[in-house]
Structure formats: C-alpha cells, structure tokens
Structure 1
Amino acid sequence: MPINTAFAVGDLDNDGVDDAVDSCPNLQEDYEGTVDGCPSNFVPWYDEDYDGIEDHIDLCPNLKEHYNKFQDDDGCPDISPQGGEGGLPDSDGDGIVDTIDLCPTQPETFNGIFDTDGCPDDFGSGDRDRDGVPDSVDECPLSPETYNRFLDDDGCPDSVTDFAFVDTDNDGIQDSIDLCPTEPEVYNDYRDTDGCIDVSLDSSFVDTDGDGIANQFDICPADPETFNRFADYDGCPDSIPSFAGSLNDADGDRIMDIDDACPLEPERYNGFQDDDGCPDIPPYSSDNDSDLDGIPNSIDQCPKVKETYNKFQDTDGCPDLVADNKLPADTDGDGIIDHSDLCPTQPEIFNGFQDRDGCPDTYGSGDLDLDGIIDSDDECPLAKETYNKFQDTDGCPDSISGFSALDFDGDGITDLNDKCPLEPETINGYQDTDGCPDVSVMDSDDDGIRDVLDQCPLEPETWNRYNDG
C-alpha cells in the first residue's frame, strides 16, 4: 500500500493514503491493522447525512445529496444547474456546462444512459416511459425509473426514503435493530452489535480493572473480563469451555441447557431468580432498573438500593426486614404488634376483658354480666369483674382492701405505676400502660406520625428504613 507522507494533492482526508487507493477517501486511516485508508472500526454502512450514499464514497458526508438527476452519486447538494458549475454558462440548464456539453441547447435526459454527454437520448418504441429500461423488463412501463441507486433496474419510480438507513445515534447500527437508538454503541468487543453504550458514563461507578463493567456488577473487579462471547457479563477472565453431549451451554451463562429455562439468553446474576437461566428484566429498556432488583425505577421507591425479597413489602423495591421496621407489623391494626398478638389477623375488642391478647372476645350464654367469667365460676354473675390485677378471677367488681394494690381510678393500673392515679387510662392501643387518659392526637393516616409533623398526612408512611418519618 503506497503511503503519501507529504499529504499531497489527491489525499482528501490527509491520512497519508492516496485517494486512488484509499477505500475511505473521506475517513482518516488510524494505522491499526490493515492500511486501507479506513479507520479500524469502520463499518461500511455509515451514512451520517442519511442520503443513502455511504460515507466512505460520499464526497459530502455531512450534507445530503439533492436527487435532481445531476451528479446524484457524489453525495453532495448540487449547484443550481441554471448557473452552471463554477459559474460557467449552461444554456440548456441540464447541469453540464456548455464547454463540455455535446448538445448545449438540448438538456440531457438523466436516465442512466450516456448521462455525461449533455444530449437527450433516443429510445425505440419498446420504451414507452423513456427511462432506458425496455418495456419487456420494465415493471412500470408507463412511469419512468428514478435513478437513485435504489432498484434502478426495475423501471419504477422510487424515493430515497424507501431505503433510507435510519441511524439516529450515528453508531452504524440501524435503528430498527438498535436496542439503544439514541445512545451510540461503544465499540470495545463487548456486545458491539446491540447498539448500546457498555461503559457507564456515571463517574460514580468505579471500574478498577477497566473492562467496562462497573465494580458493583463485576464478580472479578481486579481482573478484566475476557470478551470471548462466553459469560462476558460477569467481569471475570475466562476461556470458552468445551462441552460434550448434553452438557451444552448455548448462552454461556454457566447454567447447562438442560437446566436453563432460557438456553439462548444468558442469566442476569442480580440475586433475583439467579438459577432459572433467564435474564430477569429486558437488558435495555426505556424503564431502567438501576439497582437490578427486578423492579423498574418508575415504581421502585428505592431505585438505587435493592429490594430484600422476604415476603414483606416485596413490591416497593426497598430493602427491609420485618424486625427493622420503626413500627413493627400490626396486620389487623388493633394496636397490638403481630409478635405479641395471639390473633394477628383479627383485631382485639377492647372491652376490659383480656384486652392485651389481641383477640376478639366472645362470650357464651352462660356469662350474664359479659365479663368473660362464666356464671358457674362467677361469684358476682350479675356484676362485671373489675380487671385491676386484684382478684380478677372472682368475677366481682373489686373494693379496695388493705391487701389490694391501690388503684384509685380503677383502670387496672396500680397507683404505684399509674402516672394519673385519679384519671383512668384510655385503653386504645396508644400508651395504654401509663395510666393516663390520652390526649387526642390527630394522625389521619394512622402511621404513628402526627399530622402536624407528617408531610403526607393522608398517606401512611412505608416503614422501610428509607426516609422513614
């Protein structure tokens, strides 16, 4: 390959390769691999200006060709034929200046036949639309062919948009097959055909070994991945194993095909159903999943922290442990937390009878005073027991004796422990052990945060250690 080190005339892209032998006269050679005048990452179908003429043969790769039957193959918008090229006269306005036009007063018929002589072409009776394609092979014999390098031999008119190669992000991968049509592919031998950027542009993600896989997803953060189409997502160096017989692993995710529910799609190891062999979410989606917990950001309340799958609020996307909740679970909402509630799904009936067991109280027909002590054992079957921890099994309302623990207000909390010994406790699941009637505190959503402090007074707090309170 001759190299022109002087960058003389005949080297449009000044890459040292003469245009005569330069396969990409408008793209500079980077001298990596074969010296053919093209960059090493050159993809032949680049068409930056979307005019249907590939960049390596397009003289104006950033400007669209004007398809007007005048130099339609150079990729450049044409100078108005009326003015002639370079300002020279062009009497017939066919884009061919008079000095080289064999028929300067008769415009050229641009039909692919002697289009450079400046003369209209003669056709026989077998070409009714005068497009140069004989009627015998012309699929549109009454409509002339549009010569634009797209199906120019079928004899039919067509537009460039019929075959335009749409590539919004200019990465050489057509939008129709580009998984990330607005983000250009990073060509690094890692999933170079999907059209997506492989390395995170967020500098907060550290990539110690520089293999394009952030440490947080890299199983081997200090050893670069070997990109060989085998488990290229784990970040570890590897060699392609040789499997025989039934021990095949077509997608290279280290789960044998016989056990792999998705043998052609590699497993995404993110702690969520990692043994089924299937990717858990689409690898590229308009709805991202930043923490890879299988819950898209749009509905993930903790998009940067993985969900803890423990059957407790597993759909909110936040890590949680039932024991870690600021307010422990109270399934039936009776104010008695589940681990102390004998009936966690049935609310307590606060009636002064076993109000701390968490169960609704039922009475048989043999308990006339409805104090929970059957009449056969009730010394006072027509008078309710006063539950104050003094002779609570006799079924009688208690009179304070010298042997009893003093409970002046009769709320079942002895005066020794009663902060309000003259005022009975309000048993309502709120500070029921202090012996005081509760001051009404407005908490519209019942999440334990008073309305005056609650930023969302009508929506209960989700207790998951993320902005709790």
Structure 2
Amino acid sequence: MSCHVWILGMLILTVGMVPAYAVPINDIDDDGIPNSEDQCPHMQEDYEMDVLDGCPSNFVPWYDADYDAIQDHLDLCPTVRENYNLFNDGDGCPDVSPADPFTIVDTDGDGFIDNIDLCPSAPETPNGIDDGDGCPDDVSVLRDSDGDGLSDYIDSCPLTQETYNRYMDSDGCPDDVTSPTSEFSFPDTDNDNIEDRWDSCTVEPENFNNYLDWDGCPDIIPMDHTPVGDTDYDGILDDVDMCPDRRENFNRFEDADGCPDRLDLPFVGDQDNDGIPDNLDLCVYMREIYNMFEDADGCPDMLPQEDSISDVDGDGLIDSIDLCPSQPESKNNYLDGDGCPDTIDSSYDTDSDGIIDMHDSCPNKAETYNRYQDSDGCPDRVDTYREPFLFPDTDNDRIEDRWDSCINEAENYNGYLDWDGCPDEEGTTTGQLLDSDYDGIYDAMDKCPNSAERYNDYLDADGCPDLPPLSGPVMDTDGDGILDTADECPDAPETYNRYMDLDGCPDWFADFKSIADSDSDGIIDILDLCPTQSETFNGIQDLDGCPDDYPTFSDNDSDGIANIHDSCPHIPETYNRYQDEDGCPDTIQYTAASFVFPDLDRDGIDDRWDSCPAEPENFNGYLDWDGCADTPAAGSTSPTIVDTDGDGYPDLVDMCPLNPENWNKFNDTDGCPDTAPEQARFVHDADLDGIIDNADQCPNISENYNGVEDDDGCPE
C-alpha cells in the first residue's frame, strides 16, 4: 500500500510540473508507465493490482492464434508463428536474420519460405483457392462455395465468407473482433467516435465541420479555404495528398502521404494470402480478386464499367477474359474457355499421357494411372477412393484385429512394443539376460530368440510362435484370417492384393505377375502414393503409403485425421459411419434420412454395412457392428492402464492422480489442476470455444456449434 501511495505521489508531482497542454511523448496514456514498458499504451493503469503492466485490472487480452507466446493484439503476424532466431523475435513474425544467410530457403520458388510452406518442394498455384498453404491446389477438385479463398474442405463456414480482419482469418467464418471471445475494444477518450489509435487529438473531440474531419481534432476552416476534393477516393484530401491521382494502398508504410508506396520487406511473405509476395504486393493486407484486370498488383481491382460486359466477337466470353476478343470461340470441346477458334488434331496429346486431347478432360495435366478413373486423363488421387472393406479394430487403437495381440485392450503407445496392440510396460534388463524378440522369454531359454512367442496357450514357454494342432471350424493353419473350412489354400496365406482375396490363396493376375510392393510397407505400388518410400504407420494418413512427418502432419486429438484436414482438431472423430472424414464427433440422430436401407435379417444393421445380411448379429459385445454372429476371442491378461481422475493421464505419469487436469494452457501436461498466473485478473475461457467459463456448462470441452444449443458451451 505504501508503494502505491509513493507512486501516486510521484505522479501528482510529475503532473504538476508538466504544462497542461503537453502530454509526455514517452507515455501516451499518461498513466505513469513508459510506452516501452506499457502493454496497453492507449489504456490507463488503474493501480488496483500488484502487477503494474500499464493495463486496467479488468483488461482481457486477445488470444494467441498461432501459439507463439505473443498475444494477437501485439503480434504483427497473428496467424504465422515467430521462429525465434534472435532477430526481431518480439514482432511475432518468422523473420529472416541477416546474420544467417541459410535461413531463407524457398525450394519451390513460390514465395513461401520452406519453414511455413506445407509443400516446400511443390510450388503454390495462386488460383484463389487455399493460396496460403504453399501447395498446388486443383480447382477442378476443390470447391469454394462462398468464394472466400478457403476450400469447403477446410472452411468451417463453407456458405459464409471470411471477413479477413486479422482475427481467426483461417477458419473461413466471418468473425467479429469485438465478439464475446474478447471484452477489449480500442479506447476513444474524447468520445468523438474516432479511436485513439487513429485520433491525433485524443482528449479533444472532432468538431466535424467538413474540414479534416478524419484527424480527430477540432479544426478551424481557414478564411481562404475552398472545398477540397479527393480525386483518387483514398480518404486523403487533394490539398494534403502527395499523389492526388493515385490511391494510397494503406500498407502501413507512409500511409499518410496518399501515394501507393511499396514496402521493402526483409523477407518474402504473403500477409493477405493472395499468392502475390508482400514485396510485390501493392495492397499487402487486401487480397487480389483475379478477374484478369491488373491481377499482378495484389489489389482487389474492379473491371472498368465499359469493359465489364463488352463481347466484341459475340462468343459469350467477355473481352476482359477472352484471349481472342475479335475472333469467336469455336466451341468444339477443346480449350473452349480461352475464347479462341482452336483446331483439334485427332492425334495430338499435349501432356503425353497416352490419352489424346479430344478425349482428355485434363489435356495439360498427365494422367497418374493409379487404377482410379484412369480414362479421364486427369491426375486423380487414390485417397478419395472408399475401400469396400476395412479390417476390424475392436479396441480402436489403430491396429487391426488381425495384427493386434490384445484386440480388447488398446495399445498405450509408450515407445515399447507399440506394434503388438497391447498396453505394455517397459521392462528392465539385468546383467546379460537378453530378450531379443521382447516376448518375455530370455534368449538363453528361448528356442526362437528372434521370433516372438504367440501366447496362444500352446507351447507358450518355448518362445516360438507355435500354432496348435486344432481341427474343426476354428482352425486357420496359414494364419491369413480365413478359416480352413472356407480357405481353398489352407497351407498358403492369402496375398490380399484385391484380386480374389476371399479364396485364401496367394493369387496372381492373369499375366502371372505378382503385385509389386517396392518399399515393402504392405501397400502395393498401384495404391501407394510413394511406392519407393515406406509408410511410417504413425497414425497420420497411414493409407497413402508415404512417410508422413509428425511436425508437418500433427494430429492433436489422435483420431487419425491430420490437423490440416481435421475440422475439429482438438476433439476426436466418433467414427460412426456418418461424416467420418471431417474429424468431428458427429451425432447421427440429428440427421433425418429420406430413405431406409434394407435390413434382411432384422438385426438393426443395414445390409450395406452387414457382412452377414442373412444371419442376424448376436450382440455379445464382440464385433457387434459387423452384422455376424461372432464368437469372442480369448481375453488378454495384460494389466490395464489406471486413470483414477479420468483426465487422460495414466496414474503412472499423473503428478496428481486424484485431481484431474483443468486444461487451461498452463502446465497442461502434468495432470494437475493448475491455476494460470493471469487467471486471477482475466475472465478466462479454458476450452477456447468463445463462451467464458462462468457461463460455460462444459468449461473444459469446446462447443461444437452445430445449431443445437450452441450457447451452453457443451458439444451436443
């Protein structure tokens, strides 16, 4: 208390020494906190708390969208993380240090440096769709219903345009900066409706006399003043506009001179995500429209009125987009969009993919030949193909039951035997007792030290993966998942190459060539997007055959859908056969079906999903979703993972096993209900769903905003 009295006394003494008309240049808000230390330079400190940061005690900061520890209201690049290379680390932008000539690398030359480019070896195609990711998007496949530059696949509001106000601009929704997610608004001390950040006279209101009404000062019209126009309509009157015939581009560089200045940026970025690097973009914070009218300047130009609808050759293509405005298009299904009278050569093949142009839907892009729509001539992706059959995974640990040693217990993924499907605990090695195959039997007593014991209650002590000499309907001699009673080759395992996979025999195609798998990752080459590089099988896009990297393809909710493709990256997908590819826990009961699929055996499972349509499911808690009367497999004897407080952290690693973690972005990995330092001062929103905790019925689980009770804070 005495400290505060001393500070206030010094302030009174200081204010008394300063002339009434002067404001100290190093303290804009005159609260006694220098601008260099003031986190709220336009808001006065109220001295009600022990922390003197220059902000009032009830001030709520904006969030940190890019998680770089720099709050959005202080971050010059709020959606791109700071790279912390000891060069301009406080601005929030991934700057390039002049002292490190190897930092700025742009392998594909698309204007996105590699450390922020999702496809560093493939250049971005600036076509107005997802132009901010650095990847070559295909407009023929992607759809952008609301035309905001974000494809529907990653757009949280596919039918409503993004507002691009530097607040959550990557979600595709028209967010309002002054929405309930923030109680902060820029101050207006003199209440003249001009915010202090733009007001040249913060304590004197504008008199609005049609003379310099935008500066916030009570100006007096000179005696010789005549009305001054604004020829270029940039908001800067001609008498103070150094370029009265050219509009100011407002790129935060000499914006008061009225000239379209060009920034000399230290690195190549693209703030407005329009595909034009900032050092070439005349409108750094405004996206280019791409209407074939001055598309290279980076500004949202509009076609001149006289050119907007002119069509000299009358071919239906206006002159502004017609490459041959004086010659009509031939309309022969060959390059009909260019406006020129093209001639078809019946033998011409522009992309050399073996499909002549007159039959090629993509004459300038070669066919990929991956057995998926190979006759259309377009480079299609196989991952859009829906497999007719998926092997079951009862415990949902992403290890199929055919490979899972504990089908009813999920793998705990602790870096120890993570491939066996069991929640193992890492053991210890004493002396020279080795266990090369990690089957629990030391090599000295293991007859098969390099092959793990199968533990099927048949010779389990010898250390070999023995098969019992069974007979009858449950025998599978070759271990290919097909019982001997239905296996035409019971001693030879099925190859599973999508050719007669149900007969149990290692089949080949008619030309007697086996199916190649060059990288031996279990995904045959015709379905493998990376046939010479093995799949990593880390739960991230494991079906594409490519070695995906965790930092590039992170999956926060561990639902197998990468964050860049996951509409709900912090909430796992439910996998109930309803919109399972969006990554959100959808609820089927809110969708009314206009058609009822048949159910021949009346077991409640549609015949389209029922593997045994004529035999009802017995619902015994084992594979109850496949529609067959299954018999449960033997249960596992492995110990279960105990999580007493149910916060997702097992008791073995939970520092507070009896008290659940409160998930407030402060020490969230220790398992304890910590209190963040700022929680005592700020209204908090633990789950970041836009509903503050004291009004949120589920403060630790985000609202899913599906149109049903969206204001209660719970995911319906």
- TM-score w.r.t. the length of structure 1 is 0.25
- TM-score w.r.t. the length of structure 2 is 0.18
